[in-house]
Structure 1
Amino acid sequence: MLHAAALDGQMTDLFSQVGVVVFYLAVWGLVFAGTGLFVGAFIPFLTGDSLLFASGIVTAATPELSIWILALGTGIAAFIGDQVGFILGRHLGRPYLEKKSGPRMMRIIVRVEAFYNKYGWWSVVIARFIPWARVFVPWVAGIGKMNYYKFLTSNLVGALAWGVGLTVIGYFAASIPSVKTAAYVIAGFFIAASIFFSIRTWILERRDRKNSAASEA
Structure 2
Amino acid sequence: MPLAVGTFDPLISAGPALVWAVVLTFVFLECALIVGLFLPGDSMLITAGIVMASHATGETQVWALSIGAMVAAISGNQVGYVIGQRTGHRLVARKNGRYINTANLQRVSGLLERHGFLAVLVARWIPWVRTLCPMVAGAAHMDHRKYTVASTIGAIIWAPVLLLIGYYAGGFLERVPWLMPAVIVALVIGLIAGTAIGMRHYRQEMARPAEDFDVDAAVVAEAES
The answer for the alignment partner of 2:39 in structure 1 is 44
Shift of 1:154: 0.6
The structure 2 residue matched to 1:134, chosen from 130, 134, 140, is 130
> For the Cα contact (< 8 Å) 1:44–1:132, is it kept in 2?
no
1:83 paired to 2:83: no
| CA contact 1:56–1:168 (8 Å) conserved in 2 | yes
2:205 aligned partner: 205
What is the DSSP-based 3-state SS (H/G/I as helix, E as strand, rest coil) of the residue aligned with 1:140? helix
Query: Which of 56, 60, 63 lines up with 2:56 in the alignment?
Result: 63
Q: Structure 1, unaligned stretches of length 5 or more?
A: 1-15
- The aligned amino acid for 1:91 is R
Partner of 2:94: 102
CA distance in 2 between counterparts of 1:207 and 1:87 reads 24
One-letter identity of the residue aligned with 1:116 = L
Say whether residues 1:122 and 2:118 are aligned partners: yes
Q: Distance in 1 between matches of 2:119 and 2:108?
A: 9
Asked if the contact 1:53/1:169 (under 8 Å) is kept, the reply is: yes
Helix, strand or coil at the partner of 1:93: coil
Q: 1:179 to 1:82 in 2, by over 3 A?
A: farther
Amino acid at match of 1:49: D
SS of residue matched to 1:63: coil
Partner of 2:215: none
The structure that is helix-richer by fraction is: 1
- State how far apart, in whole Å, the 2-side matches of 1:179 and 1:157 are: 35
| 1:93 and 2:92 matched | no
Distance 1:187 1:118, change over 3 A: farther
Residue 194 of structure 2 is matched in structure 1 by: 194
Residue deviations 1:29-86 (CA, integer Å, cap 9, x gap) = 1211222233213x232xx101111111111113355111111101110111001111
Relative to the length of structure 2, the TM-score reads: 0.71
8 Å contact kept, 1:50–1:194: no
Shift in CA distance, 137/177, structure 1 to aligned 2, threshold 3 Å? same
Give the whole-Å Cα distance in 1 for the aligned partners of 2:193 and 2:125.
Answer: 16
CA contact (8 A) 1:60 1:171 kept: yes
Per the alignment, in what secondary structure is the counterpart of residue 149 of structure 2?
helix
**Amino acid in structure 2 at the alignment position of 1:170:** G
Structure with the bigger percentage of strand? 2
**CA shift in 2, pair 1:94/1:190, >3 Å:** farther
Matched with 1:176 is: 172
Bigger CA drift: 113-122 or 158-167? 113-122
The aligned amino acid for 1:130 is I
Q: What is the alpha-carbon distance in structure 2 between the residues aligned to residue 53 and residue 110 of structure 1?
A: 30
1:146 & 1:179 partners in 2: Cα distance?
Answer: 49
Question: What's the offset of the Cα at 1:22?
Answer: 4.0
Q: Aligned residues, how many? A: 189
Greater CA drift, 49-58 or 183-192: 183-192
Provide the C-alpha distance between the structure 1 equivalents of 2:202 and 2:35, rounded to a whole number of angstroms: 11
**% identical equivalent positions:** 30
| Counterpart position of 1:54 | 47
Q: C-alpha deviations, 1:77-133, integer Å up to 9, x for none?
A: 0111001111221222343x32xx422212322222122223211111111111210
